Amino acid sequence: MTISWDEPASDGGSPILGYHIERKEKNSILWQKISKALVAGNMFKSTGLVDGIAYEYRVIAENMAGLSRASKHSETTFALDPVDPPGQPVALNVTRHEVTLQWTKPEGDGGFSITGYQVEKRELPDGRWLKANYSNVLETTFTISGLTEDATYEFHVLARNSAGALSKPSLPSEEITCRDDIEVPKLEVDTIYNSTVVVKAGDVFKLAASVTGRPIPTLLWTKDGKELEDTAKLEIKLFDFSTTLVNKDSLRRCGGTFTLTASNPGGFAKHTFNVKVLDRPGPPDGPLAVTDVTAEKCILSWLPPSHDGGAKILHYIIEKRETSRLAWTNVVSELQVNRFKVTKLLKGNEYIFRVMAVNMHGTGEPLESNPMVSTNPYVPADAPSTPEVTTITKNTMVVCWERPDHDGGSSIFNYVVERRDKTGLRWVKCNKRTVTDLRYKVSGLTPGHEYEFRIIAENNAGLGTPSPSSEFYKAVDTIFQPGPPGNQRVLDTTKSSITVAWNKPVYDGGSDIIGYIVETCLPEEDEWTIRTPKKGLVGTSFTITNLVENQDYKINICAVNCEGVGEPAQVPGTPIPGPPTGPITLDEVTSDSVVLSWNPPTYVGGCAINNYVVEKRETTTTNWHIVSATLIPDSRFKLGGLDEGIEYEYRVYAENIVGVGKASKLSEIRVARDPCHSPGKPEAVIVTRGAV
């Protein structure tokens, strides 16, 4: 990057010995000296730049008395590829004191958008290049004023991008002498052409204009951006100072916007003629969409015509015909909108529809649809899944099912629930109202009777196939297994027997208790041995015999009703669980929480573990504290409420219905603190030749 500067206004009474150059990156505050020795001239080439980085420069002068203050810093400039020069400027207009130039954008913008141009002029033959614009030039045209009459000039242009890079000058313009030899073209038209020209279909319309300018301007007729040519129907006549355009036998498509352009070296002039041909409208814009087709109806939709014939569309006409016939039948005659629901179609017939727009001049050309067959796009739904009964009483049942795999192309809006008594042959509809849920409570059943059920889905096509029949369900109040006996206890023990007693369960499951079962198991085993008769014991006490002396036993007692064996109750004195196995793992440690995890005890005490008790202790005290007021059913627990910076250790107990077991081994000691993160990415702050 090459920089230049002007000499200081004052040399301080001593000749300037040279200059020191400093630079810095835009986002930095550190200036770096980049000139190794005094710079004698007022230009310096800065090297070692990083591509895409913005730099600023400043200069310090030095004389015999020392260094001057630094100059103001330069504009911010990016180290980028150079900007290509703009195209050679061309004179559009020349007067005694002004020249209007036009040029093309540079091919390469140096990676940043072009933000402006600098125009420079040079008076021939010996003048030097001087800046001609005092503000930024945004467009590719510019008028230079303040020129001397009859003087000859050259001009060139430099481009500047958003990074501040300035291109090399363009090729100089041709030599331009400032005198009034060129006159900008002017077009003059009759006042009738200032408004829209309206003609009827079949008539002739004529457009005319006169033109002035020096040299004689070139004339060009265009329509909708396309150049027009002289034909038998469209007659174009061009003269030195006038032109005419005559259109014969006008049609709707002949209307539109016509543009006349006059141009010469001094510039150009344009005039726009608007022509409207009054005619029948064109066809509506397609396609003619046929949607929501059923066996009896469909919906048609379309867009208004692109050509309205120069008049407002009054209404639309819709016609139809069957493909097997040639005659068209009227559907609707004076439709004001561009959407219509056609009804009374015959199922299975194939139809074609057409739409015509109507204005004050007549009926336009039709827009036809593709053939369509009037059939329903949906079929009856498939059968739902086999129904199941979830809740049963003596006179009601709740029936549940799943949706069909396919709804037939139409939403299911009802399910029909039917039942059949095992003693009968006829299916009876259960629901009088619409059922949209996948469950229904059937009422009015006869107690003691057995019923089967089936479900039928209903959509717009009607009722579908019935589901497979469910199994038979008996209408009786539901009986459940009994609850555990109460107040189970040991009455007596000998070296070979244990006598236990209990009370009847609070909940009998809805049926009388018919007996009890007493079973035993060794503490370290899971295989239970029934000690009572298999049909159960009628009483509420029992002596277990043939036991081994000094051997511990787990004892369960279960109640039995007609539904089966109920929940067991363990006799107190059954062993408590062993300690949880470790080690206790500490994860996700923060300043106020930790996640503890452990393994269940090897010995669970003969019944399921229903809770773990977690305790913590600060290392500065001997007191242990239970950390949770709620049950901890799993072997993983997140403990909160820790104090940052405090050392803690933890232990865990297993608990079953008998009681709390022994404590686990202590965890490792861990400080409650947030994990630290890695340092940030290092950045250079001060850089010299030998140090960073």
Residue type, 686: I
**At the topology level of CATH, where does 388-474 sit?**
Immunoglobulin-like (2.60.40)
Structure tokens at 429: 């509809």
Integer Cα distance of 268 and 262 in angstroms: 5
Tens of pLDDT along 39-60?
Answer: 888 898 888 888 778 889 899 9
Q: Tell me if 3 sits within 8 A of 71, measured CB to CB.
A: no
Which pLDDT does position 682 carry in this prediction?
83
Enter the tokens of residue 521. 């198991």
pLDDT for the residue numbered 452: 96
Indicate the CATH number of 2-78 among 1.10.3720.10, 3.40.640.10, 2.60.40.10, 3.40.50.720.
Answer: 2.60.40.10
- Predicted confidence (pLDDT) per residue in 248-293, tens digit: 988 888 888 999 999 988 889 999 999 988 888 889 998 999 998 8
> Using one digit for the tens of pLDDT, what is the confidence trace for 486-516?
988 888 778 888 889 999 998 888 888 999 9
Residue 131 has pLDDT above 60, yes or no: yes
What gap in Å lies between CA 184 and CA 363, rounded to an integer?
49
Is 3.30.565.10 the CATH classification of the domain at 580-671? Answer: no
Question: Structurally, what CATH architecture does the domain formed by 90-181 represent?
Answer: Sandwich (2.60)
Cα–Cα dist 121/98, whole Å = 12
- Which residues neighbour 354 within 8 Å (Cβ) at sequence distance 6 or greater? 288, 318, 319, 320, 328, 366, 367, 368, 369
* Residue 606 in this model has a pLDDT that exceeds 70: no
Tokens of 604: 């669970």
- Residue 576: per-residue pLDDT: 67
Report how far residue 692's alpha carbon sits from residue 690's, in angstroms, rounded to the nearest whole number.
7
Is it the case that residue 229 has pLDDT exceeding 80?
A: yes
Q: How many other C-beta atoms are found inside a 10 Å radius of the C-beta of residue 55?
A: 22
pLDDT of residue 543: 93
Q: What distance in Å separates the CA atoms of residue 637 and residue 632, rounded to the nearest whole number?
A: 7
Query: Tell me: the pLDDT tens digits for 92-105?
Result: 777 788 888 899 99
- Report the SS3 class of residue 649: strand
How many Å apart are CA 487 and CA 509, to the nearest integer?
18
* Per-residue model confidence as pLDDT tens digits over 524-583: 788 899 999 877 888 999 999 998 887 888 899 999 998 889 999 988 865 567 788 878
User: Residue 677 has what pLDDT?
Assistant: 62
pLDDT in tens, 330-363: 999 989 999 999 999 998 899 999 999 999 888 9
When the pLDDT of each residue in the chain is averaged and rounded to a whole number, the result is: 88
| C-alpha–C-alpha distance, residues 256 and 644, integer Å | 82
> Residue 79 has which token pair?
């180290």
* pLDDT tens by residue, 288-308: 999 988 888 999 999 999 888
Q: How many CA atoms lie within 13 A of 276 on its CB side?
A: 13
**Quick check: 79 pLDDT over 80?**
no
Provide the token pair at 552. 């511990």
3-state SS, 62-94, equals EECCEECCCCCCCCCEECCCCCCCCCCCEEEEE
Which residues contact residue 282 at a Cβ distance below 8 angstroms, ignoring those fewer than 6 apart? 252, 305, 306, 307, 308, 309, 357, 364, 365
Q: Which residue has the higher pLDDT, 597 or 658?
A: 597
CA dihedral sign, ordered 600, 603, 605, 606: positive
Segment 194-222 mean pLDDT: 87
Task: Give the separation between CA 372 and CA 291, rounded to whole angstroms.
Answer: 10
**Which of helix, strand or coil describes residue 598?**
strand
DSSP label at residue 230:
-
Domain boundaries, the chain: 2-78, 90-181, 184-278, 284-373, 388-474, 486-570, 580-671
In angstroms, the CA 54 to CA 625 distance is 64
| Cα angle for residues 6, 9, 13 (degrees, 5° grid) | 120
Structure tokens at 346: 């015959």
Q: How far apart are CA 665 and CA 596, in angstroms?
A: 13
**pLDDT tens string 158-207:** 999 887 778 899 999 999 888 876 778 999 999 888 888 888 888 899 99
Q: Which amino acid is located at 311 in the chain?
A: A
- Determine the topology of domain 184-278 in CATH: Immunoglobulin-like (2.60.40)
Q: Residue type at 318?
A: I
Given pLDDT bands bounded at 50, 70 and 90, which one contains residue 658? low
Q: Say how far apart CA 223 and CA 255 lie, in whole Å.
A: 10
Question: Using 50, 70 and 90 to split pLDDT, how confident is the model at 602?
Answer: confident
> What CATH architecture does domain 284-373 belong to?
Sandwich (2.60)
pTM of the model: 0.35
Q: Which amino acid is at 659?
A: G
Sign of CA dihedral 91, 93, 95, 97: negative
Name which CATH class applies to 486-570.
mainly beta
Find out whether the peptide bond into 265 is cis, omega within 30 degrees of 0. no
Structure tokens at 387: 């129904």
